[in-house]
Structure 1
Amino acid sequence: MTGLRYVYAVCRPFGAALQSQLTGLGGDPPRLLTHHGLIAVVSHVPERDFAEAPLRAHLEDLEWLTATARTHQLVIDALTAVTTPLPLRLGTVFRDDSGVRTMMEAREDDFHRILDRVQGRVEWGVKVYAESEKHEQEPARPAQPASGRDYLRLRRQQTRATEDSWQKAESFATRIHDMLSAHAEDSRLHAPQNATLSGAPGRNVLNAAYLVPRTASEEFVELVDRMKDDTPGMRVELTGPWAAYSFTQLSDSEEERP
């Protein structure tokens, strides 16, 4: 079959079969390309979409990008169910099988090092949102303060109330992160999500990822569940298990194409 080679992930050989109905990009079922004890999971994709120029244009097309990312993630999820994959960056494409093998050989030591670290482990994501009631965020105030001094005093009271609310939220988030980190092998703090972009209600005060052995995942999930009702006005969201995205990233120089 002709076409370029799209690479989803690199992993070690595994015995279980991928889902028989799994379809990758370009409608091509993912296949396994072996080289020096590593496996690249690839699909044949058409040049009209994935050659350098059209791919660059497509990456500016939100609809195309969303559909492509969804299919990419479905393949990663299928791999995560049967092995420990090292996901590659969306849009990792090579001319042919030889190009993929050249890449694998150039990065072989890095791939083995990272796979050694995450083998048998998954990533869990935890987000904490402060959901203060409106009256707590905006204390009631007279429609018309008696004087400028009364107005300034009221504003100071509102500022202190808001600061106290966020300090409590930050303290809660720190406590959760410390507890979860103690039950994980590693953790990563990501930038809080912008509420306008994410559409999630409340203020995101914790956005973290945790590397957890599969065998300890049930205990980790139970720990998060116990924390969900710990503090009124706070919302805890758990996602996963995922491939260990936050713990398998190659540096920019390592991800350059050969």
Structure 2
Amino acid sequence: MTGLRYVYAVCRPFELPLQSQLTGIGGAPPAVVHHHGLVAVVSTVSEADFSEEALKAHLEDLDWLAATARAHQGVIDALTTVTTPLPMRLATVFRDDSGLRTMIEAREDDFRRILDRLAGRVEWGVKVYLEPEPAEPEPAAPEKPASGRDYLRRRRASSHAHEEKWQRAEAFAHSLHERLRGHAEDFRLHAPQNAALSTAPGRNVLNAAYLVPRAHSEEFVEMVDRTKDEAPGIRVELTGPWAAYSFSGEAAGETGGETVGEPAGKAAEPTGETAGDAS
């Protein structure tokens, strides 16, 4: 079968080896393509899986998408330990190395500028949740309100208590963000996660990404950890270190070149934009 070039990331040449057992899409170890002082990290994949028509079908197969995203992210994570990668979107493929090199030449100024900016930096994700109310046991005989006025009073009291908790969570999230942004070079505030679509319990108050020098990451993590018990009923989640997806910039997404299919989605933690595009 015809092979296509699947691209995980573009980066500077790196000397440290990747993990010896690292595998990418399809179970094969990733390879590198050097061009104009840049490196594309790639795998050869089957056209039967990554042609335009095949990708349209795979978009309906959540198991395939999940397995592909895990393999993609595994390569990005491995690259992050040895260099600064500029991640491409999931399912960015080219017909051959010629098309890949054409893309690099068309965007190399953008790639170099962004890689220079991100060198030695990683992304940390911070989310703040208002914990769900604990379930209360049902009374043996539910107490009935004495009157309609009594019922409305209870409803207002319950609504007021909930609003107070939400305002307290928002104030905590704002205070935490102000502290964290002071220890980061840049940040992105993403839209809160939809509670109906998220598997995380509670209501998302803050969904932020922070660009932090790798050398200062330990201090950043310690700062987040110290806040986790500051506010009862509020949960703080820290993820990372990631490749700097949220700070890769829109310019690097306009890869151009001879591509096959459309990107199937993002293989990163869902907190930002990816750098590559197969449009």
Q: TM-score, normalised by structure 2?
A: 0.86
Higher relative contact order (CA 8 A, sep 6+): 2
> Quick check: 2:18–2:79 contact (8 Å CA) kept in 1?
yes
Are 1:145 and 2:130 an aligned pair? no
Tell me the equivalent position of 2:79. 79
- State the Cα distance separating 1:2 from its structure 2 match: 5.6
- Once the two structures are superposed, what CA deviation does each residue of 1:176-235 show, in whole Å capped at 9, x if it has no partner? 111111100011111222333322111111111110000000100110111111111111
> Quick check: 2:102–2:257 contact (8 Å CA) kept in 1?
no
- In the alignment, the residues of structure 1 paired with residue 147 and residue 254 of structure 2 have an alpha-carbon distance, to the nearest angstrom, of 64
- In the alignment, the residues of structure 2 paired with residue 94 and residue 62 of structure 1 have an alpha-carbon distance, to the nearest angstrom, of 23
Tell me the equivalent position of 2:227. 227
Classify 1:58/1:133 alpha carbon distance in 2 versus 1 (closer, same or farther; 3 Å): closer
Number of aligned pairs? Answer: 253
Tell me the equivalent position of 1:178. 178
> Quick check: 2:123–2:211 contact (8 Å CA) kept in 1?
yes
Classify 1:2/1:22 alpha carbon distance in 2 versus 1 (closer, same or farther; 3 Å): farther
> Quick check: 1:123–1:245 contact (8 Å CA) kept in 2?
yes
- In the alignment, the residues of structure 2 paired with residue 252 and residue 22 of structure 1 have an alpha-carbon distance, to the nearest angstrom, of 26
Aligned-partner residue type, residue 59 of structure 1: L
Q: TM-score, normalised by structure 1?
A: 0.92
Aligned-partner residue type, residue 53 of structure 2: A
Structure in which a larger fraction of residues adopt helix = 1
Tell me the equivalent position of 2:18. 18
- State the Cα distance separating 1:130 from its structure 2 match: 1.1
Structure 1: stretches of 5+ with no match in the other structure = 137-141
> Quick check: 1:131–1:234 contact (8 Å CA) kept in 2?
yes
> Quick check: 1:128–1:237 contact (8 Å CA) kept in 2?
yes
**Counterpart mapping for 1:86-165 below 5 A:** 86-131=86-131, 133-134=133-134, 143-165=143-165
Aligned-partner residue type, residue 217 of structure 1: S
Aligned-partner residue type, residue 85 of structure 1: P
Between stretches 152-161 and 111-120, larger displacement belongs to: 152-161
Tell me the equivalent position of 1:139. none
**Counterpart mapping for 1:56-67 below 5 A:** 56-67=56-67
Tell me the equivalent position of 2:197. 197
Tell me the equivalent position of 1:46. 46
Are 1:33 and 2:33 an aligned pair? yes
- State the Cα distance separating 1:160 from its structure 2 match: 1.2
> Quick check: 1:2–1:44 contact (8 Å CA) kept in 2?
no
Aligned-partner residue type, residue 168 of structure 1: R
- In the alignment, the residues of structure 2 paired with residue 233 and residue 132 of structure 1 have an alpha-carbon distance, to the nearest angstrom, of 8
Q: CA RMSD in A?
A: 1.9
- Identity of matched residues, %: 72
- State the Cα distance separating 1:67 from its structure 2 match: 0.2
- In the alignment, the residues of structure 1 paired with residue 167 and residue 255 of structure 2 have an alpha-carbon distance, to the nearest angstrom, of 40
Match of 1:48, SS state, is helix
Tell me the equivalent position of 1:207. 207
> Quick check: 2:129–2:202 contact (8 Å CA) kept in 1?
yes
Classify 1:74/1:237 alpha carbon distance in 2 versus 1 (closer, same or farther; 3 Å): same
Between stretches 14-23 and 84-93, larger displacement belongs to: 14-23
Match of 1:197, SS state, is coil
- In the alignment, the residues of structure 1 paired with residue 24 and residue 44 of structure 2 have an alpha-carbon distance, to the nearest angstrom, of 9
- In the alignment, the residues of structure 2 paired with residue 249 and residue 255 of structure 1 have an alpha-carbon distance, to the nearest angstrom, of 12
- In the alignment, the residues of structure 2 paired with residue 118 and residue 211 of structure 1 have an alpha-carbon distance, to the nearest angstrom, of 8
Aligned-partner residue type, residue 27 of structure 2: G
- In the alignment, the residues of structure 2 paired with residue 100 and residue 6 of structure 1 have an alpha-carbon distance, to the nearest angstrom, of 9
Structure 2: stretches of 5+ with no match in the other structure = 137-141, 259-279
> Quick check: 2:7–2:40 contact (8 Å CA) kept in 1?
yes
